[in-house]
Amino acid sequence: MEIELKSQSDDEIVFIVRDAEVPFVNAIRRAAMVNVPKIAIEDVNIIRNDSAMFNEVLAHRLGLTPLVSDLDAIEGLPVPEDEGWFEHNGVAFSLNEVGPKVVYSKDLISSDSKIKPVYDTIPIVKLKDDEELNVEAYAKVGYGKNHVKWMPTTVCAYKQYPEITFNDDMDIDYECADACPRGVLKSDKRSKKIKILDIENCTMCKSCERASINRAAANGAPDKSYINIGYRENDFIFRIETDGSMPPKEVLLTACDKLSEKADKFISFSEKEE
């Protein structure tokens, strides 16, 4: 198996996996979504809420506010499988505001300087004149398999690597390039060929192939296409995007560690049975 990094930023990583199989790549995707620990607000105590927003909606918004959850932030905090997780209060947050104003995520005051909202400008509730909001909240470590608020990824997906071929025994169909909605193809009549500009941007929608089939059918050659869209069976383009709570590379590495732990359990079980 070969891995090639295509791009990496603070909240996104794109890489290519070659010579792998769908179940393996999909296992990494699932682990990254549901088995990576993340911090989110779990318990909300609403002391006073004069706003027009229901208490349940307010608590829901607080729970979905991304909190810094990198390895340094969650170190030492109990995870759901630890004994005493339910009894543990978690990281305390307070929110005490008086209107008129829009209450933003930056107004959440944390008891731990390392654990705070990722973004300061997430609107939580709007208060009118003299309306008061007094809330105590507690954040805990959890997993995406239990609730979406603990899911670190906003995008975690893969697609098989596209493959584009041409039928050289047919006349060049320059117009099929214009049917591509993503600008992957370009007609070059000077060199008498169709250029592939960015094959990794191809979604394999086959718009170009259908357009070529329709033109061929109009010319008396049904079910024939100058261009063929397919994919490499064991090559994949993988993309992970996070909500900013942790770097995407950290999500990927933690997901791989979780898969390794599960494999070790199977090995230990097999050895005991023998």
Q: What is the pTM (predicted TM-score) of this model?
A: 0.87
pLDDT at 216: 84
Q: Are residues 144 and 76 in the same domain?
A: yes
pLDDT at 273: 64
Q: Say how many domains are in the chain.
A: 2
pLDDT at 274: 61
pLDDT at 4: 95
3-state secondary structure labels for all residues of 159-212 = EEEEEEEECCCCCCCHHHHHHCCCCCEEEECCCCEEEECCHHHCCCCCHHHHHH
Q: Are residues 27 and 159 in the same domain?
A: yes
Q: What's the average model confidence in pLDDT over 125-150?
A: 96
Strand order across the beta sheet in which 2-8 lies = 2-8, 12-18, 227-242, 153-166
Q: Is 205 annotated as a binding residue?
A: yes
Q: Are residues 173 and 79 in the same domain?
A: no
Domain boundary among 131, 149, 167: 149
Q: Are residues 24 and 47 in the same domain?
A: no
Residue-number span of the structural domain to which 187 is assigned? 2-33+154-239
Q: Are residues 53 and 20 in the same domain?
A: no
pLDDT at 240: 97
Q: Are residues 95 and 57 in the same domain?
A: yes
114 within some domain: yes
Q: What is the CATH number of the domain that holds 145?
A: 2.170.120.12
119 within some domain: yes
Q: What's the average model confidence in pLDDT over 4-25?
A: 96
Q: Is 176 annotated as a binding residue?
A: no
249 within some domain: no
